[in-house]
Structure 1
Amino acid sequence: MTSNGSIATTLAPTRETLSSSQLLSSSISSLNSSSTRQASSQISKIYRQASTLFLTRRLPESLSTILPVITPPPADDTNSHAAPEPAPIARASRNTRIKVWSLYLTILNAVVELDPDEGKQAFGSKEWRGLVSKVRDGDVWEEVVKNGYGGVEGDVDSDVVINLATLLLAHARTQKTNQQRLENYLASSTTPNLDISSRLQTPTSPYPRSRGASPVKGSGTDTPRDLNARVKILELYTLHVLLRNNEWDYARDFITISSVLDEERREAFLQALQSLQEEQQENERREKEEKRYQEEQLKKDIEDARRRRIENEEREKRIEEERKKERVGGSEVDYGVENSPPRPGSSKSRSSVKGGSAKGSRSMPSSSPTARCSVPAKNIKIPSSLMTRASNVVMNLRKLVESMAGGFKTRPMLLMQMLAFVVGVLVLLSRREVKERVKMILGKGWLKVRQTAGMGVKVSYI
């Protein structure tokens, strides 16, 4: 009995303490709700302004407008022991918080997709590289958790997690960071929170808890919206991130043991995983076949090039041998002409008969063209003399004059026409430019005649 009474007396103050704590919690909640509404209203205005700037493709202005909302204010040096002030977005409502973070991630996605020159021109080289590195290294996830949710991974809104995973899936250098972040979120959001004091919102807590459900966190699927968001996160994790890291078996096991998926969704996930795996295997098979075909084609090209090279070498050797044979044959023919016995009646035979030796000094040299070429006597034409040619020219001129005289007798006007033509030619030649042109034409003609004559002399000499 005594013990029961002591227990009763011990529990009574506890009930009183709990009731006073509940009253304090409700009053603080009402104050926080009013401050949250004011913060959400102000943040909504900034969000609309940043959205308008983003829609007009003014990315630097849009980013600079939304950064003060998601960035904690600078610490006050005078009060260094005080807790750091949270970012204004931490006090906003859930819908406002999701919209602001979604817009911020959308702006970062547009910044990363800019061309390097365009991004450096819009933001500056250093700032643009910092933004791109923040996304590709996965540091943006830590920024969202720290500034918006007090560093508590499990408190991040599921829609924000979906946007973060999608952003890293599109632009991250590796999906290891994305996988690790999603695993931390899934683990922390499904771990029960047995700390009852977290329900009591104290004024010293800089980050008001966004979840107003029970102190024991379930799987985050209290509403159909939460369930759909969790299914979407599982889809990104199992059918995209894990597959990028080539963890097919782990993805299949995770889908099989997941408590969020019902039988229908689990079957759909497994079928999608199987189809993706088959597609990847088909792509790998095609890549191997393409690689093998390229290797075979390369070997074939090498063999064709080697065969053509061998054929060219053989052809060149054959042509060189034919040229050597022709040179050897030509030299043998020359020697045969030189060493052939002299014909009867030739100059060489006469010199040999007179001098008693074929090598007499009066004989013609064996290397002369007349000795090498034996032309029949009937084909040799005796050139006409100079007097004969002059007489022919005079006779032709005489015939021309006689024919002209006969023409003048029959046609007296022909003489007048000829005189008029001669006078016109003389008048034309009296002009200076005509004289120079005629002189130039005659000079060119005489130069061509000299060149032709020179070539003829060379040919005749050869």
Structure 2
Amino acid sequence: MAYGGSYTASFNPAMSSNESFGSGLLASSISSLSSSGSKRISPVSKTYRQASTLFLTRRLPEALSTLRPIITPPNSADDGEPAPVTKSSRGTRVKVWSLYLTLLNSIIELEPEEGKDAFGNQEWRALCTKVRDGSIWEEVVKNGYHGIEGDVDADVVINLATLLLAHARDQALNQKMLENYLASSNIPNLDLNDFTAPSRRYQSPARRNNGANTPGDLNSRVKLLELYTLHVLPQNNEWDYAREFINVSAVLDEERREAFLQALQSLQEEQEEQERQEREELKRQEEQLQKDIAEAKRLKAENEEKERKRLEEERQSRETSEGDYGIEQTPSFNGVGRAEPPGSPRNTVARPSGKSKSKAATTSGSMTITARATLILTRFRQVFESLASSVAGNPAVIMRLLVFTMGLLIMLGHKATRQRIEQMLGASWAKVAATVGMGTKVSYI
């Protein structure tokens, strides 16, 4: 986002942090290669150019190993000797630290397997952890600016905040470090006619050549405010604080203040709309889950009801098949058409005696035999129906039945066979007649 054309390499709320970070710092690294001066090149600048070339050719491990000697204090420096980059000019310091932060951003964006193959498992995890937990900020302040947060160059702070905005686990540390820097760093002079006037405030060696109270200083300050109010604070849901900070800021003019407030309002509305859509989606999913549960319960109840009815029908079928088919006592009716109770005088049957008793016993016995015969015939009918359905579904059974029938007819064609069958049927019928006669005598008795 550019306000009034004051700067172009800035954050756009619609652009992701990774895109802004990579494009801004990479452009800075490329432009630094083309600005080779005719003067004598310092060792730090020479090392920086070598590391830049390795970085642009995607040789990340070599670029990191080349850059490390100038951004870390010597190992044998027990007297607190700082890193070589602290003795360089402001421009060189900014370029070195910007390249280092860009390199870390590229390393942390590697795939896990690719990063472990390039740097080793332990070193790659250490580099990622250093960025994600925010300790990279303390490393830059300690090694490059003598541990004084207010002395850090504004462009380096912008790159640090952007790196944490893209990869940190949360933005609480980022907000804290930006607030400390804004509170402790120099406030630029807004009088544009006094850019060349030297600053009367004492500055540490790291900031004597920072170009304080210059247009570049002002642009960097505006970028910091944009990062802080439009990116970091919204990530922490500090909307009211961000709006208040913009209103009281002495760095912003009316045009920029209005642009910042409009951008902040747009971001807040966008986030609220996104949260509303997420709530609606969550509510829809919950309602769908409730419907699915209710449908599952309904299907379960229907299945249980069907199973209960099936079991009831089977039980009734068994009771009907195995029950007694004898004559049940039927209630008699009185003159007005109402049934008499079983124990009433009208419904009481006199006990037969003599010949009447024998006749009643014979009738009862004959009726019982009839019911049993009916049951037997019913069973035979069911067997025949089952056989007919089996034959209809299996043509091979029909062929077997035809073959059996033809064989039976051939057997009956022999005279001796017919005589033998007649003898067997006659003997069987005699036995049946004798059995029925014995049954009749017993019933009579």
TM-score, with length taken from structure 1: 0.59
Shift of 1:367: 12
- Distance 1:385-1:153 versus aligned 2 partners, 3 A rule: closer
Give the equivalent residue in structure 2 for 1:162.
158
Residue pair 1:75, 1:84 contacting (<8 A) in 2 also: no
Structure 1 runs of 4+ aligned residues shifted over 6 Å read 356-359, 365-371
CA distance in 1 between partners of 2:81 and 2:96 (Å): 19
Q: Return the letter of the residue paired with 1:70.
A: I
CA distance in 2 between partners of 1:156 and 1:41 (Å): 21
Provide, for residues 236-290 of structure 1, a one-character-per-residue CA deviation record: whole Å limited to 9, x for no partner: 0011111111111111111000000000000011111111111122122222222
CA distance in 2 between partners of 1:310 and 1:302 (Å): 12
In the TM superposition, what are the counterparts of 1:9-20 in structure 2 within 5 Å? none
RMSD: 3.6
- Distance 1:387-1:112 versus aligned 2 partners, 3 A rule: closer
Aligned length: 308
CA distance in 1 between partners of 2:72 and 2:47 (Å): 14
CA distance in 2 between partners of 1:152 and 1:186 (Å): 13
- Distance 1:52-1:327 versus aligned 2 partners, 3 A rule: same
Shift of 1:294: 1.6
The question of 1:105 aligning with 2:126 is answered no
Provide, for residues 120-154 of structure 1, a one-character-per-residue CA deviation record: whole Å limited to 9, x for no partner: 22212221121111111111111111211222222
Q: Return the letter of the residue paired with 1:110.
A: S
Residue pair 1:231, 1:261 contacting (<8 A) in 2 also: yes
Residue pair 1:75, 1:85 contacting (<8 A) in 2 also: no
Provide, for residues 295-328 of structure 1, a one-character-per-residue CA deviation record: whole Å limited to 9, x for no partner: 2111111111111111111111112222222222
- Distance 1:191-1:385 versus aligned 2 partners, 3 A rule: closer
- Distance 1:373-1:158 versus aligned 2 partners, 3 A rule: same
Specify every segment of 5 or more residues in structure 1 that has no aligned partner in the other structure, as ranges.
1-36, 200-206, 215-219, 338-355, 360-364, 376-380, 392-462
- Distance 1:164-1:389 versus aligned 2 partners, 3 A rule: farther
TM-score, with length taken from structure 2: 0.61
CA distance in 2 between partners of 1:328 and 1:52 (Å): 96
Provide, for residues 58-83 of structure 1, a one-character-per-residue CA deviation record: whole Å limited to 9, x for no partner: 2111111100011111235xxx6xx4
Relative contact order (alpha carbons < 8 A, sep ≥ 6): 1 or 2 greater?
2
Q: Return the letter of the residue paired with 2:376.
A: R
Give the equivalent residue in structure 2 for 1:150.
146
CA distance in 2 between partners of 1:138 and 1:65 (Å): 23
Structure exhibiting the larger radius of gyration computed from Cα positions: 1
In the TM superposition, what are the counterparts of 1:21-40 in structure 2 within 5 Å? none
Shift of 1:170: 0.8
- Distance 1:280-1:387 versus aligned 2 partners, 3 A rule: closer
Q: Return the letter of the residue paired with 1:177.
A: L
Q: Return the letter of the residue paired with 2:110.
A: L
The question of 1:373 aligning with 2:377 is answered yes
CA distance in 1 between partners of 2:243 and 2:364 (Å): 112
Give the equivalent residue in structure 1 for 2:413.
388
Residue pair 2:153, 2:210 contacting (<8 A) in 1 also: no
Q: Return the letter of the residue paired with 1:290.
A: E
The alignment partner of 2:206 has SS state of coil
The question of 1:178 aligning with 2:182 is answered no
Q: Return the letter of the residue paired with 1:278.
A: E
- Distance 1:233-1:388 versus aligned 2 partners, 3 A rule: same
- Distance 1:254-1:371 versus aligned 2 partners, 3 A rule: closer
- Distance 1:326-1:157 versus aligned 2 partners, 3 A rule: same
- Distance 1:143-1:331 versus aligned 2 partners, 3 A rule: same
CA distance in 2 between partners of 1:256 and 1:157 (Å): 25
Residue pair 2:52, 2:99 contacting (<8 A) in 1 also: yes
Shift of 1:329: 2.6
- Distance 1:213-1:66 versus aligned 2 partners, 3 A rule: closer
The question of 1:52 aligning with 2:53 is answered yes
CA distance in 2 between partners of 1:373 and 1:247 (Å): 92
In the TM superposition, what are the counterparts of 1:445-460 in structure 2 within 5 Å? none
More helix by share: 1
The alignment partner of 1:373 has SS state of helix
- Distance 1:144-1:370 versus aligned 2 partners, 3 A rule: closer
In the TM superposition, what are the counterparts of 1:206-285 in structure 2 within 5 Å? 208-212=205-209, 220=212, 222-285=213-276
Shift of 1:387: 7.3
- Distance 1:196-1:367 versus aligned 2 partners, 3 A rule: same
The alignment partner of 1:105 has SS state of helix
Residue pair 1:238, 1:254 contacting (<8 A) in 2 also: yes
In the TM superposition, what are the counterparts of 1:312-323 in structure 2 within 5 Å? 312-323=303-314
The alignment partner of 2:157 has SS state of helix
Residue pair 1:101, 1:160 contacting (<8 A) in 2 also: yes
Specify every segment of 5 or more residues in structure 2 that has no aligned partner in the other structure, as ranges.
1-38, 189-198, 328-361, 381-404, 417-445
Give the equivalent residue in structure 2 for 1:418.
none
CA distance in 2 between partners of 1:183 and 1:262 (Å): 21
Residue pair 2:326, 2:371 contacting (<8 A) in 1 also: no
CA distance in 2 between partners of 1:64 and 1:371 (Å): 102
Q: Return the letter of the residue paired with 1:69.
A: I
Residue pair 2:325, 2:372 contacting (<8 A) in 1 also: no
Shift of 1:384: 5.0
Give the equivalent residue in structure 2 for 1:128.
124
The question of 1:302 aligning with 2:298 is answered no
- Distance 1:106-1:371 versus aligned 2 partners, 3 A rule: closer
CA distance in 1 between partners of 2:307 and 2:93 (Å): 83
